[in-house]
Amino acid sequence: MFKRVTALSWAFTFFLFSFAWSKVTLDVKDKTLKNGLKILVVENHTAPVVSCMMRFKVGSVDERPGITGTAHLLEHMLFKGTKQIGTTNYEAEVPIMKKIDSLAVLLRAEQNKLQNVLWGGDSAKVKSLRDEIAKWQDEQRKYIIKDELWETYLENGGTGLNASTGNDRTQYYVSLPANRLELWAWLESDRLRNPVLREFYSERDVVFEERRLRTDTQPFGKLFEQFNALAFAAHPYGWPVVGWPGDLKTVMREEVEIFFKQYYAPNNAIMAIVGDVRAEEVFAMMTRYFEDIPPFPEPPRPVFTDEPKQEGERRAEVEFEANPLLAIGYMAREIAHPDNEVLDVTAAILSQGRTSRLYKKIVEEKKLAVNISADNSSSRYPDLFYITATPLAPHTPSEIETAVYEELERLKTEPVSQWELDKVKNQLDANFIRSLSSNTGIAFGLVEVTALVGDWRYLLQNIENMKKVTPDDIMRVAQKYFTKSNRTVVTLVKKEQAASAKL
């Protein structure tokens, strides 16, 4: 559902953009500091507020087996404070954290022994070590000022304070009164310069519980975890952003700290400041607070693992006590590939609104599904074009599959009418402008494309490229990607249904 756009937001939108038959321009001022930090500024003087976003070009794709979930766990840890924030006496915390780390080494050694009956693991010793760590964590809490970073922002008018982690990204953001921008600069530069991963093992337990609530006990969470794991045999997009349970139980504070040092540096970050500011003043302020932070000597190592070409359909069932679900995926392309924009338009033709093909045919006419959607991933590396659906009882996922494949075959053999294509392009254009109707929306769009493509101007170029998509382009990509040998299908079924199917 789209957010309601206020009159002020529309005034801002028309102030920022100039239209020439829907061609959009965006007044972005940019500067790169000597240490490589990219700063993007958009001035909007309609209200005395500013949205600030710091994006690091790191996500779960940059992890390795054994530490999956580290990017997301680190996001949590960076709200725990620094040597100055979140503590009454950092020096008193240091020996306690060293003691906790030494106990954690012993704990993991015992946990490893429990993986094989021949290794002589001792469950009682594991429990004893956990209890000992908890005792020292309680001792450390005497010096901790809980949530001081959060409280500082809130006390100074901060709203929308949050962070998020994905396959390709980690970002931290907040909106503030414009006269509190310098506070943001101080807090964020301190967080990048002097983070302290305090309360690590208790927070690791919090993330493990988050995984249980959002993945292990949720039908869509279970479905998509297995869907991605099946679709990606080699590439790290196959593991969950939140991490595998075994890794979350055993990852060490030192490993997460190493991950921070590998990926959190000015020359692996993009900053966007949008609101009631003057660009030159922002550049001067950020130079004072950030330019002395050392960059990486070399950029982080990219992911070199290519997903091998799929040589046949992959199919699986997930047994779970919930109503059936269906996910169909086709290996597609990365965001910068020319086919990606055609796939974006194709996804809109299939499921953008109630007049889209899948909704009209499968939800309205055949009444096979409660809902259905098609999406194109647009990621740093080649990723999935996928379709998800919830069957309408008593209909089954297989019935929906058949109907979906019929619609995909139509795309291969029948050119999309110009009327339908223009309708979808207008929808995409409106959605694009709507996404940029707030300071935070603009900041997110700018850091997203800059991180993935390298240039904020691609934010505008992408929508212009989609306007140039032709019916022949859509037929071409449908024939190229929507093939059985390139397909992954996962269905969620109840256990009794799976058992009866085997008989």
The 10s digit of each residue's pLDDT in 339-396 is: 999 999 999 999 999 999 999 999 999 999 999 999 999 999 999 999 999 999 999 9
Is the pLDDT score of 503 beyond 60?
A: no
User: Angle at which helices 200-211 and 90-113 pack, to 10 degrees?
Assistant: 50
Report pLDDT digits (tens) over 216-240: 999 999 999 999 999 999 999 999 9
| Contact status, residue 70 vs residue 93, Cβ threshold 8 Å | no
Q: Is the pLDDT of residue 194 over 90?
A: yes
Which two three-digit tokens encode residue 39? Answer: 């700063």
Q: Which fold has domain 314-494?
A: Cytochrome Bc1 Complex; Chain A, domain 1 (3.30.830)
Rounded Cα distance between 431 and 437, Å, is 10
Rounded Cα distance, 334 and 345, in Å: 15
Tracing tokens 């760590």 back to the chain, one arrives at 133
**DSSP notation for 423-455:** HHHHHHHHHHHHHTSSHHHHHHHHHHHHHHHS-
Q: Are the CB atoms for 477 and 484 separated by under 8 Å?
A: no
H/E element, 269:
strand 269-275
314-494: same fold as 33-87+144-291? yes
Domain ranges of the chain: 33-87+144-291, 314-494
Q: pLDDT band for 25, please (50, 70, 90 cuts).
A: confident
DSSP secondary structure letter of residue 406? H
What pLDDT does 115 receive?
A: 85
User: Cβ contacts of residue 320 below 8 Å, gap of 6+?
Assistant: 219, 222, 223, 492, 493, 494, 495
**Fold held by 33-87+144-291:** Cytochrome Bc1 Complex; Chain A, domain 1 (3.30.830)
For 57-184, list the strands marked E by DSSP: 159-165, 170-177
Q: What is the pLDDT of residues 26-58, one digit of tens each?
A: 999 999 999 999 999 999 999 999 999 999 999
For the stretch 85-117, pLDDT in tens is 999 999 999 999 999 999 999 999 999 998 887
pTM (whole model) above 0.95: no
Q: What is the mean pLDDT of residues 301-308?
A: 90
Residue 74's nearest CA partner among 227, 237, 196 is 196
Cα separation, 450 vs 380, whole angstroms: 11
